[in-house]
Chain A
Amino acid sequence: GAGVSQTPSNKVTEKGKYVELRCDPISGHTALYWYRQSLGQGPEFLIYFQGTGAADDSGLPNDRFFAVRPEGSVSTLKIQRTERGDSAVYLCASSLRVAGGPTDTQYFGPGTRLTVL
């Protein structure tokens, strides 16, 4: 597609459940990023991929959070044993390459709003 897409747009789940959030980057973009945006805050970095590998996962808050990008395109953010504090908008972004010059501009998707009851 023309832009970054994320599904679902909204997800409501119960405390303790498992959820998966999907991101489809712009075609040809090698770098993919996940951010979490809590209410009234700016996005906070979670993880980024260069190709299929996680180049930096230092932003993942704990081991309940995991992300994969098996074929270097679509990525899935997985959250186990969800907690109410996980409620936020999860944003995905992609860029043509990781760093250097105008090709590293990150383009964001519309996000998935996760609500944990």
Chain B
Amino acid sequence: AQTVTQSQPEMSVQEAETVTLSCTYDTSESDYYLFWYKQPPSRQMILVIRQEAYKQQNATENRFSVNFQKAAKSFSLKISDSQLGDAAMYFCAYRSAGTGNQFYFGTGTSLTVIP
């Protein structure tokens, strides 16, 4: 089975600064999708950004961008101009592009934004 590793249980960033959350994964597949989800205290998982493995261009969504390194199996999330509302748990997730539609999630990184 695929595994997803988030090695930073906790991170903090000053408001308006930039922070990078790390994620690595292990797979033998060549085609797959990677995601970052945000989970605030309300528990609702919110999709932040998505990357298709066949695309070389890194995905960007406003202040959120990824650094996708397919050969290194690395998928980090960069949050620019951090805001207080960015404080939450962030989960990296992997999903195969083939059969089997389940997500494999990492253990999460708790992000604190310091005013």
Contact = CB atoms under 8 A, between A and B. Distances in A.
Nearest to A109: B44
Interface of B: 4, 37, 42-47, 50, 91, 93, 97-108
A110 B44 CA distance: 4
13 contacts: A41-B107, A42-B93, A42-B106, A42-B107, A42-B108, A43-B45, A44-B105, A48-B101, A99-B97, A100-B97, A106-B103, A108-B44, A111-B43
Interface in A94-108: 98-100, 102, 104-108
Name, among A35, A42, A113, the residue most crowded by chain B CB atoms within 10 Å (CB to CB): A42
Contacts of A104: 101
Nearest to B42: A110
Interface of A: 31, 33, 35, 40-45, 48, 55-56, 59, 89, 91, 93, 98-100, 102, 104-111, 113
Contacts of A108: 37, 44-46
Contacts of A111: 43-44
Contact of A56 (B46, B100, B106): B100
Contacts of A45: 102-104
Which residue of B93, B102, B106, B107 has the most chain A CB atoms within 10 A of its CB atom?
B102
**A-B pairs, 10 with minimum CB distance:** A42-B105, A108-B45, A45-B102, A111-B43, A110-B44, A98-B101, A110-B43, A43-B105, A42-B91, A99-B101
